Structure formats: C-alpha cells, structure tokens
Structure 1
C-alpha cells in the first residue's frame, strides 16, 4: 500500500505537468486563431476615413447633412458588401450615427445615440479604440473598432468617428465549440463568450452592484451581467490553477456543461490584439485515472514479489506433500485395477446375457408378426367361407345361362343360323366377364401378400369390402349410406390390409345389427385435426357399454356369444393400421349404435414403411 501511494503521488504530478503543457499548446493555437479572427476588420475604419463623401457629410452643418447622407450611406454599403459581414457606420462628434451601411434595413443605426459607448469617448478624444459591446438598436453583441476622423483643412481637428462592428457569433461557433470548455473575458472580468451556455455575462470574481450596473449600461445595452460568479483567479490561471466548479445556475440546476463539483485545470492567455483573456479548462479526471492505474500496477508488482516469496516456501511444502500423495496414489491405483478387473468380468457376463435376450426378443417379434399374418389370412378365409353360399348362388346362374346359350349356339350353327349363334356367343362373353368381376375381388382379398404402402382410393377400398358382403347385406336388409366420392380421398397405405380392416368392421357391424328392426350402415371421410384422413364406419346396432369400450382392443375380448368369435379382429385391425402410420378408434355413434374411426395417413405424408417378409 505504501508503494501504491508513493506511485500515485509521483504519477499525479507528472500527469498534471503533462496536461498543463498540452493545454498551454492548445491555448496558444486557440489564442492566435481567435486574435486573427477578431482583428481582421481592424483596418476598415481607415478606409472610411479616406472617403470624400464621409468627410463632406461631417464637414456640413447639421441642417445640411440630409442631402449628403445618401452618398455616404451608399459608400458604406458598397464597402460592407465587398468585405462581407461587418456593420460600418459613422458618428459625429456628439455621438450620433449620421451614416451607416445598414441604412436599407428598418432596424438601422441611423440617428442612434452611441455617445455613452466607451469606444466613442476614446475615439472622439483622438485615440483609436476597440471594445466589446451590445448595441441598443438590435441588441446584438459585437467587437467595435473605432477610429477618429480628422479634417486637414481644420488643422487636423476630429470631426467624427468611423466604427466597424465585427460579429463574434462565428468566433463562438468555430473556436469555442471545442471538446474542452473555454471562455473569453474582457478587462472587467466579464465573460463575453463561453462554450457552456450558462456562462456568458458571468464574472470571474464577485463585483459590486454599482460596478455591474455601470458596465451593463455602457457596454451591454442594459442587459443583466454578473448574475453568476465563477470564483476563478486570472493571475493564478496564468500558470495553471486547479479549480472546482460546483456553482448552481439561477434556475437552481447544476452547470451541466461541466457537470458541477468536478476538478479542472484552468489555464489562461492574453489575446494581444484585444484586452481580452481566453481561459480553457482541462478535466483532471484522466490524470487521476492514470495515477490510480500506475498505483494499482505498482501495488500489484510489489504484491507479486511477496507472492513469489510465499510461493517458494509453499513449493517446498507442496513437494513434500506430493511425494506422500504419490505413494498413496500408487496404492489406490493397485486397488482400483483389481476392482476394475472384477467388474469387467461381471460386465462381460451381463453383455452376453443381454445379447441373448435381444436375439430371443427378435425371434419372438418375428414369430408374433408371422402369427399376425396367419391370423389375418385366416380371417380372410373365414370371411370367404361365410360368403361361399352367396358366391355359389351368384356364379350358378351365369353358369347355367352359359351352358344353355352355348348349346343353343351349336344347334343354330348346325342349322346355318350364324347370326343367332353369334348373338348367343356374345351373351356368353358378357356373362363370363360378369363372373370374372365376381371372382377378381375374391382372389385379391384371399391372396396372402406382404404389406406395401401406396396411394389408395378410400372409396374404392370401401366398395371392394362391401362387395364381399353384398349377399349378406341384401339378405338382412341393411341400408348402406356411402358418402364418399371416388378419387376424392387418397390415403397412403396397403390396399389389401385396409380392405381386411374394413371387412372386420363391416362383419362386426352386420352381426351387431342382426336383432335390430332398423339396420343402417354408413361410411364418411373427413380431415382430422392431425392432418390424417378419418374414415368413419357407423352402424345402428346395440353399441358398446362403458366397460366394453375400456377392453375393446384387448386380445381375446369379445361381446359375441361363445363360439362366434375369438376377440382378435379389432386388436389385429388396429395393429395393421398402426404399421403404416394410422390408428383405429371406437365410440358410440350419433343416434345409437357403434362408430369406428379409421385414421389413415394422407398421400402428402408418405410415411416410411418397412414391411416384414411373409411367406407366399
């Protein structure tokens, strides 16, 4: 801590000197620039003094000046337009403006009494004057250059005063609008220009009300001055003084430009072409930050040395402890190796058992799938067996007709009536196609094939399943309501498997409606909230109880009489649908009966499906 404190003091002193040198260099450049900007119009009154029109106006008696005033005004206007900016005017010995370059404006200085201005009193006595003041006509601040006008015909007597008013707004904008705050004060200690907006017309040191009132009347056109006092000594600021700005503005707010209660280095210079002084302020925060940084580094360096000494002592203790720990580690390592060897043997045995279980599970799964396929095929054959009588009746009539027509065709050919024989053979062909239409769906349904997903028309699958139950539906008087248009709903599944599911649902529905007076079977398709196709199969049968709904999809659960079913149809149907991304739901139908919803993936989903191989 002592090293850090000593370093802080040394760094603070060096930083202060460096900041003062930088501020002094900046102040010299700024002072030269401001002096050049302010005094560049100082020679204009000499040109006004040489004008014959101005001399003639000042020589004329007051009652004769009105005739000569226009020529003098035009001369001053042309001179002002050529030089660009300053206001030029001429005063008589009484301090009244008799000619001005701004005569064309309504608020011109013509006729204004400026006898109270200090620059007029000095110039009319024969001495060139320059002075900062605010005119009483426009209330604009400016820097006035005044030069006495002498008449050589009257033994060089002063007959008037030539004055140039130079604007200082550009000076305030260009040279005082710097990052570092700055201000310009006159010989009375009044702040004329300042980059903080709260400081103009403040005083460096407190002054009496009488003095402030006189300065306001003579120099500032009655405006209030000295409302604020900055408590800055110009003499001390000549070499650099540390000031702390903590004053408040008249409105009770802090001087926001410098963020009051902060420490600054104030440095001043005299402007040689004027009676002004310029003061710049440099924030000492950077010096404090730099000194604190150096102190922290010094403290850290000394701390590192102390830590290094502690490290050397600790290193010896650590080396001793390391040797002891190494011996313990070797002992523990040997024990660990023995434990790892024993655990490795146990793990190898567990892996072998797990592999055997995986193989057994795979075989069981293959057996289960094969059994499921056999059950599906058995269900198909059972349905075909139930429909054998109806199918025989459907085929016997076309066969009898074919036998009669073919015999007649032979007889007509013997008689030479080929036209009639041709007609009979045409009828035989039609009946053969009719029989093929009956047999083809039966062959497709009965075929045992692997599940291959494809685009399936739901309406076509429903029609194929209904065809298999055509005789039973007509025999039992079941009214079928199929609200599905062809090619309107396309699902991604295996058509043969979907047909098997529909055959199970339709067969169950027919059995459920056997004792009902009204038998109605309806089909409809809609889009589910999940995006799947929802095929609804509803009947007007006895429906389900709440207990039956809870166990409906369990294997070997059935609501039929003993010997009429195994209770596997719905469980297998749901497994079939889930294999290609669908599902089977059950519930009561509106108006009574049962309602099954077959969820099918649409063609756009096209799920990946890997069918299990099955025997032909």
Structure 2
C-alpha cells in the first residue's frame, strides 16, 4: 500500500507540475499579445492633443473665447479630426476648466460649456502639464480613456487640449476570444485594484484583491466608476509557479465565471499605471494528474505485489515450522500473565477502597472546618460592629427612660392624650430594639436556612441597616441601584455576610479620601444577576490584587482584621454558583460576582 501511495503521489506531482508549466508558458505568450495590443490602442491617440495645440484658430480662440465665428471654425475642425482619428470626442478647455470647443458640438448631449474643473483629468494636467485618466461611461459603463495636454503661449497656460477614446472595441475582442476559449479569463485592473476591463463582463468594476500582499490600496476617486459600491472579486494566491506565474483560487458567485484553481500571470503597464492579468483554468491539470496518479499507483502496486508474493512464499515455509512451538509458548505466557494481572487488580482494588474512605473523611473534616471559618468571620464582623450596635441600642433605651418618667407625670395630672402618644412612641422604640437584636441574632446564627427565593434589594438594605451607625457622620454617599425583580435562591444571611464584608472593606478604603461614594449595583443579564460593590478609595496595587483571596492576608493594621473576610466571602459565593472577582475601577476598587436568577411571578 505504501508503495502504491508513493508511486501515485510521484506520478501526480510530476503530471501536475508539467500541466502547470504548460499553462504558465501559454499564459506568458498570451499576456505579451494582449499587453502589446492594449498599449498600441492607447498610444494611437496619445499624440492627438499635441496636434490640436498646433492649430492657429484654436490658439486664437483661447485668446478670444467669446469669438463665436472662431469657435464655430474650431468646432468643425475638431469634428473632422475626430472622425479621422477614430476617437470618441475632442475638446478644448480654458484655464478655468470650461469647455470652449468640442467635436460633438452638434449633438444633444454635447459637452460645450461644461465645467470640468473638479475632475481629475483637469487638476492632474494643470499640475503636471498632462494627464491620463480612465473614466467609465455613465450610460453603458464602457471603458473610456482621456489624454489631456496643457497649451502654453508665451510661457503661460492658455488652455488644455483633450481627446477621449474608447477601449470598448478591444474589450469586445477579448470577450469574443473568451467565448472561443472559455478556459481563459482576461482582466485589467487600475491603480486602485478595480477591474476596468475584462473578458467576463460580470467582473467589471469589482475590487480585485492584489496578488502581491505587500501592495496597499489607498483612497481613490469613486466617480470614475459607474457604481459607488465596489464589490469584491476574491482572488487568493495559492503558490508561485514558473515564469512569475501564480496558482490562485477564484471564488465568484456570478453566472459567467466558475470557481476553482487558475494559473494567473500579471504584467504591469507603466504607460497607464494598470496591470494586465490572465487567468487560465487549471481544473484540467488536477484531473489529468489524478489519472496519472492512478496509473502510477497501479504500476507500483503490481511491482509491490510481485515482491510481496516472493517474500511471503519464503516466509511461509519458515513460519509453518515455528508456528506450533510459538503457539504453545504464547499460551503458557498468556496464562501466567493473566494470573499476575488478576493479582495486581485485586491489590489495586483494595488500595482504592482505602483511598476513597480516607478522602470521604477528609471532605467531611474540610466542610466542618469551612463552616467554623465562616462562623468565625461572622463573629469577627459582629465584634468590629459591637461599639456601633451598643450606641444604636442605647439611644432608644435613653429615650424609653425619659418617656416613662414623663408618662408617669402626665398620668398624675390626667393628660391622657399625651400619655397615649408617649405609649405609642415607647412601643415604636421597643420594636426598633427588637429589630436590631433579631437582625444580629439571625446574622450570628450558624445554621443555614433553606435556599428559598429572596429579593436581593432587601438583603442589600438589611446589610446597610447593620452599617447605619458606622455610616453616620462619615460623609459617605451611598448609592443603591438594584432591580426589585432581582431574586436569587440562597441563604439570605450568608449573602448578607458577603455584602456586609465588601461594604465594610469599602468604608475602610475611603477613610483618607476626600470623595466618599459607596455604590451597590445589581444588573440582570438573562439567567444571571450581576452584583457590584465599588468605592472611591485609594485602590490597590497589582501585587496586593494578586493576594487578595489568600487566607490571613490583610492590608489593615494589626488588630483590625484577620485576613479571612474575602476568603470566607469567596467560598460562600462559590457555594452559590458564582465567582467573587476584584478589579480596579475608574476610582477605587470594584468587587463583583454573579448569581443564578430566580423568576418569582408574584413579584415580577
């Protein structure tokens, strides 16, 4: 099989290279003929503007542009010259770009009096003394070429002589030749890599990507083409061939051309700045090469079969003598190997059972330690808040004492209405103390509640309520933007612990900053809810950012933190199905995580 593949591959390569070489040779010859014909057609009219500049009446008209009699004689003379030259039209421009005389003065769409000062053929001629310009006709898109020469009198520019000639005849000849030989394609691209002439009419005025990748295309004057949107004609180089030709891949969706491999030959036309490209269909080369590969593989296969037969006949005699002995030895070795493998599997199974039991015990211990660590984080947070909580409860207790004494005095003098109002106030204060203690009790409780749907906004408000005493007098602006329809299924107290830890860190980071803004934002994104806690603090360095979630790492002063808050918060968020991340914001630090959203119909 390897010999057949090698023989087939060698035959395929040889036949393919020979086919491409033949196409490349033919492409070079055709390119010379096409290029010479196009150059001759362009050069045939190049000297006409110089001939026009020798006419005395024309020179006199440039000096007296309002002389109607002189203008009429020049028009007729240009008409006769245009017929003899076989061009489309001849015309004369004054230095301002206005047409003074033209060979088509008698036609309804005559260019007499037209202002051509904004066109490239006028501006380039005024700058360089002459210009060559391709402009497609606006009605049929036929290729037209303009030669413009500056006319000087006494060293000054007195006007311009121009000729417009059509290249449609030579393009029609290419189209006819392509009909006879449909495997060949011919196209001319200008300096903007736009196809301006082609034997395939569907390719005209499409953008042909350059065969040389280093060539760049700059901005171009789109008014030269009949359409503003230049569609692409995708020609991709595959590999280089002989004589400077290339094998290219053509991808085209029009009906006049086919996709596939072509041999491309390119020639520059310095006179016009164009490039002439021929494309020869290379699909037949691959078909011929495959046929050669089949033949080569067949010959190699026959030779290989003969060699294999002779070798196998020699081996068969020797193998018959040793087969019985080898079979017996293999059977004995197999039985021994099965016995050894069975023993190994039994020992491995016993070790695996021991390892599984050990891993289960380790996981149970890890979960227990993790729960204790989370509870320690809660108690640490409560300890840091104890002073503020004591102040929060002392305020209503002081008010209760004063109201009780005032109520006794009011009751003694019979002011029952004031007594009733004091009693309502006392009831409200006791309810406030109950809310504070209940909130602390639920936050400190170690056991996790069932994962029922909870509103994120309420959890954020509960965390801020626990920080209310710390926020008083700090001049911190708190901005909360959490949608009411944002609900998640998780332990509310553990989520509150995460938010409380992130908010506390944000307040610590803003102690020394003049602008203090705490921003809590919630955003719904499909099935996820993204939460962000950001501050306007001093921020963190890259080195600190990389160690944020390491246990016992803290940027606070000794005694102010254990370095476990972010570790515990990250673990809680991970249990909820999210990831806690930190990044540097526009000012300060941003902590963010996302949770799975729960749809609650009654609160939508």
Q: Which has the larger radius of gyration?
A: 1
Q: TM-score, normalised by structure 1?
A: 0.44
Q: TM-score, normalised by structure 2?
A: 0.45
